[in-house]
Amino acid sequence: MQKFTTLTGIAAPMPMINVDTDMIIPKQFLKTIKRSGLGANLFDEMRFDDDGKEIDSFVLNQPAYREAEILVAGDNFGCGSSREHAPWALLDFGIRCVIAPSFADIFYNNCFKNGILPIALPQDVVDVLMKDAEKGANARISVDLEAQTVTTSDGEVVSFELDAFKKYCLLNGLDDIGLTMEKVSSIDAFESKAQAARPWA
Amino acid sequence: MSPKTLYDKIWDDHVAHEAEDGTCLLYIDRHLVHEVTSPQAFEGLRMTGRKVREPEKTIAVPDHNVPTTPGRDDPKNMTEDSAIQVAALDKNAKDFGIHYYPVSDVRQGIVHIIGPEQGWTLPGTTIVCGDSHTATHGAFGALAHGIGTSEVEHVLATQTLIQKKSKNMKVEITGKLRPGVTAKDITLSVIGETGTAGGTGYVIEYCGEAIRDLSMEGRMTVCNMAIEGGARAGLIAPDEKTFEYVKGRPHAPKGAAWEAALTYWKTLFSDDDAHWDKVLTIKGEDIAPVVTWGTSPEDVLPITGVVPSPSDFKGGKVEAAQRSLDYMGLTPGTPLSEIAIDTVFIGSCTNGRIEDLRAAAAILKGKKVKDGMRAMVVPGSGLVRAQAEEEGLADVFKDAGFEWRLAGCSMCLAMNPDQLAPQERCAATSNRNFEGRQGRGGRTHLVSPGMAAAAAITGKLTDVREMM
């Protein structure tokens, strides 16, 4: 997995609540057996019309935001389907960080497995970042994972909370499975104990 | 010993390792796998030379993108990309030695329907699947939730999941339901109260007389949509109905093992003084047959209501409601019962079980689908389909003018050819009314099976109580 340390980039404003994973990557693009190439269809039905032509008003089609690396969005981002194709599509497009007042549980976890940092901040703080993002390409937002801070284009610094283990894995680009494999003796021991206690399970 | 919730008890019995910061390895008893969210996980195992740690606890079935029309066991009758995914699952099941129900098997069906049907789903177990509606299995008092593909790979390789414990939320539905009100109306009404983010960070336990009164099928419908309220999982404490449902199923314990299991299962309830981080109580008698009007499952109103106005809401929901109304093509103030419907879809892991088909058939018996409408029933499994045929329900549907399909997820997520056209309006028994969910531009109203049947007859959203 790609490490995440610091990021300074264009933030795209998406002031919508309940952005669901069906919006992020519609089901017709889930028929792949690969993880790559989904960026072309990120937000497909919002980004393109029925003829496949770009919809000018959609934020990621606007000249200022085509190279966005950060998304600032409304409450409950990533709700709905568990499809990890959603973070795969964001990553493939070039989005490495999503900032919102809250995230749906499964999407939030999926981000960390793919080197994407989801940052949950209070609504009033997201409102400030949204305004900043609305300034366009010249307004670059900075994120520092080690320091757990977001810095606006005006230099205002805000701190965010993050689980220490998730932060450690993301900073170091660690593979969860490798880490768990180091604890295999605990799993073996648990399995023997559980087999004795609940042999039917 | 301090009092515990049902969630606390199942959690405590499955922690294989706990780090100082509370990060746990949760042991997984059952891993359900389908064709859409697993290929990359198996590929990951191959690339790292890893095996499936517990093939006996891993069960696979193709359901999401399979056609529901005859001849589908011939890959030529599938779209090329679907056929590739199904072939990949065939191969992965064989190569890694896991349990498998191919499309040609009568036991094939939606993963969350066949798990309970085959007795894989047992009280007190932990169950995961790369699908958010895994919450369904919580109806048995199993801790069950959806995971992403990276986590699928993690569970395949280690039989554990890295987790931190969620908070406990109690949702109590007191008293009796009124006639015409179903499990679907309960679960939608709860989401209407909490909002789609109200359960985020929680595991919900549903309890109360109205929940106890539900059949296992109804309880599965309730837990199925816990995810639509944002919760990690939904749970219902097992009782005699649960044990009766499980007994004798192919993979349920037998003989002495059954007796031992039963003794343990009877300890699975929340203690009287257990701590709840959040509590919601709804009177059963206050729940009406409901429909969704918008593009979020929280957009719930009684069928007797009218389309709301954006000004009825606050904050970000004002713009969201306007966007929903534009997408849905609805005008504020319109009575919901005057909304004309083009299509009716009965099926999905929410409402594709035998009881759901019985409820719909009871309304349809001797009646016809309104002229010009499209109506389809997609049973949740091959066995549900066979039972419905045996009970004469299939004939009721066919005589009424419904298409009688083979089992699969079908138009719930429209990955297969069962899709809505742009602006086509559907009364659906499924779980999501998101933009584009049932087909680009398609408009979805979520309802119970009885309400779907009523809509098929009248051609508009209809109060099922008028047809009972």
**Can you say how many angstroms the Cα of residue B352 is from the centroid of all Cα atoms in its chain?**
9
pLDDT digits (tens, 9 = 90+) for B276-308: 999 999 999 999 999 999 999 999 999 999 999
Residues 34-73 of A with CB under 8 A from B: 34-35, 45, 50
- Per-residue pLDDT at B376: 98
> What confidence tier does B202 reach under pLDDT thresholds 50, 70, 90?
very high
Q: Choose the mutation target among B158, B159, B420 for the interface with A, i.e. most A CBs under 10 Å.
A: B158
Cα of first residue to Cα of last residue in chain A, in angstroms, is 34
B50 touching A, CB under 8 A? yes
- Per-residue pLDDT at B165: 97
B209-243 in b/e form (b: 16+ CB < 10 A) is: ebbeebebbbbbbbbbbbbbbbbbbbbbbbbebbb
Q: Residue range B342-354: average pLDDT?
A: 98
Cβ distance of A80 and B435 shorter than 8 Å: no
> CA-CA distance, B37 to B358, in Å (whole number)?
32
> What confidence tier does A139 reach under pLDDT thresholds 50, 70, 90?
confident
- Per-residue pLDDT at A93: 98
Looking at the complex, report in whole angstroms how far the Cα of residue A93 sits from the nearest Cα belonging to chain B: 19
**Can you say how many angstroms the Cα of residue B103 is from the centroid of all Cα atoms in its chain?**
20
Looking at the complex, report in whole angstroms how far the Cα of residue A60 sits from the nearest Cα belonging to chain B: 18
Using a CB-CB cut-off of 8 Å, the residues of chain B touching A187 are 16-17, 25, 27, 158-160
pLDDT digits (tens, 9 = 90+) for B351-408: 999 999 999 999 999 999 999 999 999 999 999 999 999 999 999 999 999 999 999 9
Look up residue B352 and give its DSSP letter: -
> CA-CA distance, A46 to B436, in Å (whole number)?
10
Cβ distance of B434 and A105 shorter than 8 Å: no
The beta-carbon neighbor of B197 closest among A75, A106, A114 is: A75
The mean of the pLDDT values for chain A is 97
pLDDT digits (tens, 9 = 90+) for A58-99: 999 999 999 999 999 999 999 999 999 999 999 999 999 999
Closest listed residue to residue B223, CA positions, set B214, B407, A110, B120:
B214
Q: How many CB pairs under 8 A join A and B?
A: 192
Using a CB-CB cut-off of 8 Å, the residues of chain B touching A164 are 21
> What confidence tier does B1 reach under pLDDT thresholds 50, 70, 90?
confident
Looking at the complex, report in whole angstroms how far the Cα of residue A114 sits from the nearest Cα belonging to chain B: 9
Q: Choose the mutation target among B131, B327, B434 for the interface with A, i.e. most A CBs under 10 Å.
A: B434
Cβ distance of B158 and A105 shorter than 8 Å: no
Residue A43 has pLDDT above 90, yes or no: yes
Q: Residue range B53-81: average pLDDT?
A: 95
Tokens for A182? Answer: 């180091």
Using a CB-CB cut-off of 8 Å, the residues of chain B touching A17 are 315-317, 320
Looking at the complex, report in whole angstroms how far the Cα of residue B401 sits from the nearest Cα belonging to chain A: 29
- Per-residue pLDDT at B74: 92
Q: Residue range B173-200: average pLDDT?
A: 97
Cβ distance of A177 and B122 shorter than 8 Å: no
Q: Three-state DSSP class for B324?
A: helix
> CA-CA distance, B427 to A3, in Å (whole number)?
45
> What confidence tier does B207 reach under pLDDT thresholds 50, 70, 90?
very high
pLDDT digits (tens, 9 = 90+) for B34-43: 999 999 999 9
Looking at the complex, report in whole angstroms how far the Cα of residue B386 sits from the nearest Cα belonging to chain A: 29
The beta-carbon neighbor of A177 closest among B37, B82, B157 is: B157
Using a CB-CB cut-off of 8 Å, the residues of chain B touching A183 are 16-17, 25
> CA-CA distance, A66 to A94, in Å (whole number)?
10
- The CB density around residue A171, as the number of other CB atoms within 10 Å, is 14
- Per-residue pLDDT at A124: 98
Tokens for B256? Answer: 């002495």
The beta-carbon neighbor of A180 closest among B162, B296, B298 is: B162
A84 touching B, CB under 8 A? yes
- Per-residue pLDDT at A163: 96
pLDDT digits (tens, 9 = 90+) for B132-185: 999 999 999 999 999 999 999 999 999 999 999 999 999 999 999 999 999 999
β B425-428/B403-404 pair status: unpaired
- Per-residue pLDDT at A138: 84
Cβ distance of A84 and B37 shorter than 8 Å: yes
> CA-CA distance, A127 to B55, in Å (whole number)?
48
> CA-CA distance, A107 to A84, in Å (whole number)?
7
Nearest chain A residue to B127 by CA distance is A201
A196 touching B, CB under 8 A? no
Q: Residue range B21-33: average pLDDT?
A: 97
Using a CB-CB cut-off of 8 Å, the residues of chain A touching B149 are 35, 84, 110
A15 touching B, CB under 8 A? yes
Residue B84 has pLDDT above 90, yes or no: yes
Answer for the pair B355, B458: CB distance below 8 angstroms, yes or no.
no
Strand partners, B286: none
Cα of first residue to Cα of last residue in chain B, in angstroms, is 50
Cβ distance of B436 and A74 shorter than 8 Å: no
Nearest chain A residue to B129 by CA distance is A82
The beta-carbon neighbor of B25 closest among A15, A45, A180 is: A180
Helices B80-96 & B39-48 angle (0-180, nearest 10)? 50
B216 touching A, CB under 8 A? no
* Alpha-carbon distance values, B58 to A131, B14, B30, B214, B285 (Å): 48, 17, 6, 29, 41
- Residue B365's contacts (CB-CB under 8 Å, 6 or more residues apart) are B396
Residue B88 has pLDDT above 90, yes or no: yes
The beta-carbon neighbor of B434 closest among A23, A75, A110 is: A23
B230 touching A, CB under 8 A? yes
Cβ distance of B81 and A17 shorter than 8 Å: no
Look up residue B456 and give its DSSP letter: H
- Per-residue pLDDT at A70: 98
Answer for the pair B157, B53: CB distance below 8 angstroms, yes or no.
yes
pLDDT digits (tens, 9 = 90+) for A88-97: 999 999 999 9
> CA-CA distance, B77 to B417, in Å (whole number)?
11
Nearest chain A residue to B153 by CA distance is A177
- Residue A152's contacts (CB-CB under 8 Å, 6 or more residues apart) are A128, A129, A132, A139, A141, A158
Using a CB-CB cut-off of 8 Å, the residues of chain A touching B201 are 105
> CA-CA distance, B313 to B301, in Å (whole number)?
14
ipTM of the complex: 0.96
Looking at the complex, report in whole angstroms how far the Cα of residue A44 sits from the nearest Cα belonging to chain B: 10
Percentage of chain B surpassing pLDDT 70? 100
Cβ distance of B36 and A30 shorter than 8 Å: yes
Torsion of CA B361, B367, B369, B371, to 10 degrees: 180
Cβ distance of B125 and A201 shorter than 8 Å: yes
> CA-CA distance, B190 to B185, in Å (whole number)?
8
The beta-carbon neighbor of B435 closest among A32, A45, A82 is: A45
B158 touching A, CB under 8 A? yes
- Residue B106's contacts (CB-CB under 8 Å, 6 or more residues apart) are B382, B383, B386
Residue A175 has pLDDT above 90, yes or no: no
Cβ distance of B415 and A109 shorter than 8 Å: no
